[in-house]
Amino acid sequence: MELFVGSARFRRPSAPQARTSGHSSPERQASAEKLDHILRHAARVFSEKGYAGASMRDISRSSGVPLAGLYYYCESKQKLLYLIQIFAFRSILERLEQRLAGVAEPVEQLRVFVQNHLEYFLSHPVEMKVLTHEEKALTEPLRRDVAEIKRRYYSLAREIFEELRRSEGIRGIQPRIAVLSLFGMMNWIYTWYNPRVDPSADRLAEIMTGIFLVGVCNGHGHRIGWRESSRGNAQAADRLAG
């Protein structure tokens, strides 16, 4: 988790980063790393007990940071949840925009979207569970911020699908339903995924992209079919099961 980039912006005014003169960089970094440490443990506790069921004392125990220390680095329990959600979402969006940069074809864009989502989902299961499971736990001032990012993320997926719809001549299925069904497949994973039994993120992304593309497009349009691999690497070809 590389949360601490920019995290100082979110701390209370009285927190250490307010000190702008004198020694700065090493302390600032140590301080930011400690907030990261707290957020990591908080995310784990929230994911295990739920936001309401988790206490600040639980987070204190889990992280080793004393109760008063938690409030020194983050002003409230709400803000902890807020930071976890905001940083996770930003991280996903940032990676996604990078990966999407050179991709023009809608079908490929969708693959990249699913790939990115699942890769983040499975490599940060704790944060993602908090993100998807604790949607309503924030109260209004903070909630709006997270909802705004989420809306942007959904819009991006929907735009990709609309483009795909045009280019493939798909008809008869509402984009809203199609995209939300796709999100359902992906976001439900946290309830069942078992790394010892289930396919890797890459493979899972291929499978779900396949189900979605064929399911949504083949009913009323071209045959898109299955293809394997995505990332442009060398072994791409031999993963083709046919």
- Count Cα neighbours of 184 within 13 Å in the Cβ-side half-sphere: 8
For a second copy, which is the closer residue by CB, 3 or 107? 107
Residue 10 contact, options DNA, a second copy, none, Cβ 5-8 Å cut-off depending on partner type? none
Going by the DSSP 8-state scheme, the letter that residue 24 receives in this structure is -
For DNA, which is the closer residue by CB, 68 or 101? 68
Contacts (CB under 8 A) with a second copy, residues 77-136 = 133, 135-136
Quick one: how many helices (H) and strands (E) in the chain?
9, 0
For DNA, which is the closer residue by CB, 22 or 102? 22
Going by the DSSP 8-state scheme, the letter that residue 75 receives in this structure is S
Q: Within 10 Å of residue 227's Cβ, how many Cβ atoms? A: 17
The contact pattern for a second copy, residues 143-172, with x = CB under 8 A and - = no contact, is: -----------------------------x
Nearest to 113 by CA among 183, 43, 18: 183
Query: CA 80 to CA 40: how far, in whole Å?
Result: 10
Give me the long-range contacts of 194-203 (CB less than 8 A, separation at least 24): 195/122, 200/122, 201/115, 201/118, 201/119, 201/121, 201/122, 201/123, 202/115, 202/119, 202/229, 202/230, 202/231
Residue 65 contact, options DNA, a second copy, none, Cβ 5-8 Å cut-off depending on partner type? DNA
Contacts (CB under 8 A) with a second copy, residues 175-234 = 176-178, 180-181, 183-189, 191-192, 197-199, 204, 207-208, 210-216, 218-220, 225-226
Residue 195 contact, options a second copy, DNA, none, Cβ 5-8 Å cut-off depending on partner type? none
| Identity at 121, one-letter amino acid code | F
Q: Nearest approach, Cβ of 95 to DNA (angstroms)? A: 30
Contacts (CB under 8 A) with a second copy, residues 48-77 = 49-53
For a second copy, which is the closer residue by CB, 149 or 207? 207
Q: Within 10 Å of residue 81's Cβ, how many Cβ atoms? A: 24
Residue 166 contact, options DNA, a second copy, none, Cβ 5-8 Å cut-off depending on partner type? none
Residue 204 contact, options a second copy, DNA, none, Cβ 5-8 Å cut-off depending on partner type? a second copy
Q: Nearest approach, Cβ of 36 to DNA (angstroms)? A: 13
* Residues 6+ away with beta carbon under 8 Å from 205: 111, 114, 115, 117, 118, 119, 230
Binding site for a second copy (CB under 8 A): 49-53, 133, 135-137, 172-174, 176-178, 180-181, 183-189, 191-192, 197-199, 204, 207-208, 210-216, 218-220, 225-226, 241
